Amino acid sequence: MRKSSKKPILVLALLMSFTLIFTGCSKSNTQVANTNDVSKLDKVELKMYILGDKPKDFDKVYAEVNKIMSKKINATLNVQFISWADKDTKYPLLFSSGDNFDLAFTATGWCFYNQIATNKGFYELSNDFIQKYAPQTWKNEPKTAWDQAKVNGKVYMVPNDQNEYNYSLFAIRGDLREKYKIPEIKSIDGLKKYYDAIAKNEKAIVPLANAAGGQDLQSPYLMDGKEISYVSGTPLPTIGYNIKDKSGKVFAFVDTPEYKDYVVKMREYANNSYWSKTNGSNNGTRDEAFKAGTAASMVWNLNTVAKSVQEVNRIHPAWKAEVVDVFQGSKKLINTYTNNGMAINAKSKNPERAMMAIDLLRYDREIYDLTSYGIKGTHWEPVGDSMYTVLDATSNFPAGNVCPWGWHTNINRMDIYQPKAVKSFSDKWSSSDIVHNPLETFNFDDSKVKNEVAAVGKVITQFGVPLDLGKVDPTTGIDTYKKELKKAGLYKVLAEVQKQTNDFIKNSK
């Protein structure tokens, strides 16, 4: 969710419009002299922010988590949620409002990691600090993950350590595909035939669930299908690179023929009624309409699509939900480890205990299972040592969906009913489609162009999103968008990105 991959950031304006003033890392009120002696630790409550909506059984599950936390580090978690609809507005305010909290989910690209880190909003995690207060994390985290988490040479996040793909897949209704005699879908053309049939014949169902302000299709149509990625730390989609080009060359999306093709396609899709005309005001997640039966497809990353398909087939087996890859054979990057992670507030009064809590979230089997799947025997059951199956009450604490992505590690379990296509796709990608690019570990430092980045974010909202939704004529809309981006300072940002990527490539050799 990302969820492994979770929604891309498109609105950075609010964050940058504030002049964030952060004090240096605060000293803890609780001196941790010996982390192995719980009796010497004062009892503390750690306030933690995660993403999503609070499920019905959350308090029951985390009451069990806190029993274990109390015994092991004399701390409890007070968990607060930031909904998907409020993420882009409320998350930045955590660090400018003086909110007294300790822990927060974060991510590069889509959840403000670089922006908050460069403003000194996160607590710096030195090697000594990590080794002392999170020994299991220090032992198990790949060096590459720590390298990816560096901002100006310093680490402010504990990344997850799982290989994940942010490559987009679609989920469709197999029963509707069969109803309209459409062959197994393996391409954009096949998907389009499916959409045309739905739009023409199913008046109560839209072809595509396109939530999150309407930008869900940037990933598949603008990037994944074109073998392009965006530069981590830049407003999306403004600056990108070809994943097969290892020179470090970057470009403005809006100047590429791929962007024009994308906008033209979005206009066509909108005119064909592939999604609701109210898109852009929909605050739900992009899987909700698909699971509710009001949309005939959804798009997200592999893990999230697989979970949605499994849930739909459990509740509505007659729908015959399927996982579809429409860009078969295209080259792919593995997500950076920093696509999901946990950070400590720079103003936390208990940074040491917060780090100890992260270590438990990541590697204590009982806590990991609780936060990931819920209460054993109520929400899920283990199958062997590495798999699980959900029970009827899982809807009250959806397995894998209550924002445990910040502490995903190698003790993660696999759903025994996971669609077979998941393993098939991931095996194929690993064997023949994965490429590596030096810029997959690059993080842009926007400290020299913060005003321009803020202005670009506003332009994206005002002029870019309508193009994403197909609401604007491509010819006049792209020209206007380019002019506004130029006035906002996009090319100053692009020049700074290119300078940094050139230095990064040079120093990587």
CATH of the domain at 195: 3.40.190.10
- Assigned domain for 53 exists: yes
List the end-to-end C-alpha distance of the chain, in Å, as a whole number: 33
Q: What is the pLDDT of residue 25?
A: 41
Q: Are residues 178 and 291 in the same domain?
A: yes
- The residues near 97 (Cβ < 8 Å, ≥ 6 apart) are none
Residue 197 confidence (pLDDT) above 90:
yes
| Residue 230 three-state SS | strand
Q: What is the pLDDT of residue 283?
A: 54
In this prediction the pTM is 0.75
17 or 137, which is more confident? 137
Q: Residue 427 CB: number of other CB atoms within 10 A?
A: 10
Q: What is the pLDDT of residue 509?
A: 66
* pLDDT tens figures, 349-385: 999 999 999 999 999 999 999 999 999 999 999 999 9
Q: Residue 142 CB: number of other CB atoms within 10 A?
A: 12
Q: Give the least confident one: 27-41, 47-61, 139-153.
A: 27-41
Distance of alpha carbon 424 from alpha carbon 336, whole angstroms: 22
What is Dmax (Cα atoms) for the chain? 69
Q: Are residues 27 and 46 in the same domain?
A: yes
- Assigned domain for 290 exists: yes
Q: Are residues 24 and 138 in the same domain?
A: yes
| Residue 162 three-state SS | coil
Residue 403 confidence (pLDDT) above 50:
yes
Q: Are residues 35 and 74 in the same domain?
A: yes
Strand segments, DSSP code E, in 220-311 are: 228-230, 239-242, 251-252, 297-301
Q: What is the pLDDT of residue 210?
A: 65
**Quick one: which of 116, 130, 35 has its CA closest to 73?**
35
Residue 282 confidence (pLDDT) above 60:
no
Q: What is the pLDDT of residue 159?
A: 96
Q: Are residues 137 and 55 in the same domain?
A: yes
- Assigned domain for 42 exists: yes
User: Which two three-digit tokens encode residue 107?
Assistant: 């991510």
- Assigned domain for 351 exists: yes
- The residues near 191 (Cβ < 8 Å, ≥ 6 apart) are 170, 172, 185, 297, 324, 326
Q: What is the pLDDT of residue 2?
A: 43
- Assigned domain for 401 exists: no
Instruction: Tell me the pLDDT band of 418, cut-offs 50, 70 and 90.
Output: confident
Q: Are residues 153 and 44 in the same domain?
A: yes
State how many domains the chain has.
2
Domain enclosing residue 85, as ranges: 13-162+337-364
Average pLDDT, the chain: 88
Q: Are residues 89 and 207 in the same domain?
A: no
